[in-house]
Structure 1
Amino acid sequence: MKIDFKHARDVFEEYLDGYDREDEKIKLKIIHTYGVVKSAREIGHRMHLNEEDQQLAEMIALLHDIGRFEQLRLYDSFSPDTMDHAAFGAQLLFEGENPMISRFLEERQYDGIIHTAIARHSDFRLEGIPDKRTLFHAKIIRDADKLDNCRVKLVDSVEAMIGVPQERAGEGKISPKVWNACLKREAVLSQDRVTSVDYWVSYVAQYYDLNFKETWQIMKEKNYISRIIKRLDYKDEDTREKMEILDQQMNAHMEKCLC
């Protein structure tokens, strides 16, 4: 079945009209959404996906953060403490007598895949999805989301992301639990972040969770890891040394994933 992405995008734009498009955080998420669509398209093309799975990947990307807009309206925050935006987005799309997903797609044969991929896209670890096609699309949206987050971390306001001006964001030391996760080549738990620099480290360490070689190819071509690490000025000597170690370690991990 052919998915009408243009129709879905038009419906999404109508949905966005209910929010303040000039709000910096709303604007950031709109740009991010279309960036994730672009990333899903590029990953899929490099994989030579069939047309159906390519369209499905882009549809999931379009809708993956739909819960963010209501989170911002209610809490003016991206913090996971205020809302599980992924689970809420899936609920928003699929619950009720006339679920919103029917506005985006006439045919409903993909509901299970779309629901799971959106609901699970921000999980700390992706586990417990037995269906291979559903798991595949859950992995693609996670990779596409992280890939566009590279762009976000390089061009968007640091203060909008972590609440601290860029000139102060590199201050302080890396907390022990955060650094331990890096040494184990794992993503950082949200609750383990204490200092502003912890947040920045967690943004880098999330790339240990990438799933596909094609995603790593793009990461290498754009030199994303080193560029993100070097965006901040680290005041503390120990922090500077650890960020250099993280840069080397993550680039070595990338080369291993590309082999």
Structure 2
Amino acid sequence: MKKSELTHLKSWFADYVSGYYTADSEYNRAIRLKEEHTKRVCNNIVMLGKSLNISEQELLLAETTALLHDIGRFKQYAVYGTFNDMNSKNHARLGLQQIGMHKILNVFSKYEKRLVAKAVAYHNAAVLPKAEDENTLFFIRLLRDADKLDIWKVFIDYYNEREKNPNPIIELGLADEPICSPQVLQTLKKCKTVRINDLKTLNDFKLLLTGWAFDLNFVPSFQTLQSHKYLEQLASTLPQSKEVKEAVKQALDHVIKCSGNFNKEINNESSNCFAGHSRNLVPFTDVYPA
């Protein structure tokens, strides 16, 4: 892949997204949210890739997956007026349809096209594909980490400003009640990611975001999460009950453990985390869409 191809793709992306803006400022707010998110995920994946010492060619390919990972979001919102996949269509599938319709990967090699398509398809999947080569899995995991790092930022920024500027678009229709569902708390205490079907309140969703720590893949991702204190900031918006504190502590302890300097403990199955440079390692935790 050439740098000029990525430059051309970025230009196409900007033109494509501009076609979704209207005279409705509230509608545009949703479109802008995803456009800006995409740009930050691109920055995140380059940062992670450099930290993992991948090649320039691999960096270009990684950034391409980030640029296109949410391309289906714009069509999703235009048609369904929501970013909730359960109330519309899977935005990854919509993205693949847009990629195919606009033939934007035609100049890429067969391998590159397949890898980008797989990354887009699985960036929000409940489980990773079993029959897949390790190189493709590496790029899928890298994208999922880059995506999560920005989603944490987006929601923390939103919760900090929610009283002044509420946005129902990103609240997924969940009830704003001062409770956390027992099933959600139990899942976190088991060091597992929360399933979307178990969500009943906004606090449940915050716990889902907290549990994403169990689905990170690389040491630089954990280190970035820790340095920005995203989980601590999320925790400050939750009810301060003993049960909530215990559940959040599981995630915080996991992040601390997996933020170390590539020691033996981090790549040991008993540590319940997958973190390192190697693209041949397999995560030992359950996964949930990013």
TM-score w.r.t. length of structure 2: 0.79
- 1:113 pairs with 112, 115, 135, which one? 115
Q: Which residue of 177, 182, 194 corresponds with 2:200?
A: 194
Separation (CA, whole Å) in 2 of partners of 1:233 and 1:179: 12
Give the distance between the partners of 2:156 and 2:49, measured in 1 at CA: 24
Letter in structure 1 aligned against 2:134: K
1:32 and 2:37 equivalent?
A: yes
Whether 2:8 is the aligned partner of 1:2: answer: no
**Maintained 8 Å contact 2:213/2:254:** no
Structure 1 equivalent of residue 103 of structure 2: 99
Cα distance in 1 for partners of 2:121, 2:129 equals: 12
Q: 1:90 aligns with which of 88, 93, 96?
A: 96
Structure 1 residues 107 and 126: CA distance shift in structure 2, 3 A? closer
Q: Confirm or deny: 8 A CA contact 2:188 2:247 kept in the other structure.
A: yes
Instruction: Report the Cα offset of residue 225 of structure 1.
Output: 1.0
1:77 aligns with 2:100: no
CA, structure 1 residues 233+200, in 2 after alignment: closer, same or farther (shift >3 Å)? closer
**Cα RMSD, aligned residues only:** 2.1
Q: TM-score, normalised by structure 1?
A: 0.88
What SS does structure 1 have at the residue aligned with 2:241?
helix
Deviation at 1:101, TM superposition (A): 2.8
- Secondary structure of 1:253's partner? helix
Q: 1:242: Cα distance to partner?
A: 2.9
Alpha carbons 2:9, 2:104 under 8 Å: kept: no
Give, in whole Å, the separation in 1 of the partners of 2:121 and 2:54: 23
- 1: CA distance between counterparts of 2:62 and 2:178? 40
Tell me which residue corresponds to 1:217: 223
Output the CA distance in 1 between the equivalents of 2:227 and 2:200.
Answer: 32
Q: How does 1:46-65 map to 2 (within 5 A)?
A: 46-65=51-70
Corresponding residue of 2:134: 132
For 1:201 and 1:109, the matched residues in 2 are separated by 38
Q: How far, CA to CA, are the matches of 1:18 and 1:137 in structure 2?
A: 29
Structure-2 change in CA distance of 1:20 and 1:228 (3 Å): same
In the comparison of the two structures, how many residue pairs are matched?
A: 247
Where structure 1 has 5 or more consecutive residues not aligned to the other structure, the ranges are none
